[in-house]
Amino acid sequence: MIYTHVAAVLLGLALGGTGAWQVQSWRADRAELKRVEQAKSDFLRREKAAYAPSVAHEQFKEKERVAYVTIIETVERLVERPVYRNICLDADGVRAYNAAARGAAGDPGEPGPAVRAPD
C-alpha cells in the first residue's frame, strides 16, 4: 500500500514537473515572439527612415526640373531682345529674374507681354 502512495506521489511529481516545463516553454516562446515582432517593427521603421531622404530628394529634383525648364524658357525670350547690346537688364528682365529667385516664374504655356520696339 505504501508503494502505491509512493508511486502516486512520484507520478504526480512527474506530471507536475512536465506541466511546469511546458508552461515555461510557452512563456519562453511568447517572449521570443515578442522579441521577433519588436525586431521586425524596428527594422521596418529603420527601413522607412532610410528611404525618406531619397524620396525627398526625388521630389526636390522633380520640383527643380520643372522650375529649371521654366527659367530657361523665360531667359531665352528675354535674351533675344536688342536691349541687351548696351544694357545688362531691362525692367522686364529684372522682374523675370526676381520672379525666378522667388520661385514664381511664369507658366511656360502662357504668352508673355508684348516686346517693345527698340528706340
- pLDDT tens-digit map of 8-38: 999 999 999 999 999 999 999 999 999 999 9
Number of domains in the chain: 1
- Nearest CA to 112 out of 73, 68, 59 is that of 73
Query: Residue 117: pLDDT above 80?
Result: no
Please report whether residue 64 resides in a domain. Answer: yes
The angle subtended at Cα 104 by Cα 103 and Cα 110, nearest 5°, is 135
Please report whether residue 110 resides in a domain. Answer: no
For residue 37, the enclosing domain spans 2-102
Please report whether residue 111 resides in a domain. Answer: no
The angle subtended at Cα 40 by Cα 34 and Cα 42, nearest 5°, is 100
The pTM assigned to this predicted structure is 0.38
Q: Which three cell numbers stand for residue 54?
A: 531619397
Please report whether residue 115 resides in a domain. Answer: no
Q: Which three cell numbers stand for residue 83?
A: 536691349
Sign of CA dihedral 59, 64, 70, 72: negative
Per-residue confidence (pLDDT) for residue 73, from 0 to 100 = 57
Please report whether residue 26 resides in a domain. Answer: yes
- Nearest CA to 88 out of 98, 76, 79, 101 is that of 79
> For residue 90, how far is the Cα from the chain centroid?
42
Please report whether residue 51 resides in a domain. Answer: yes
Q: Which three cell numbers stand for residue 89?
A: 537688364
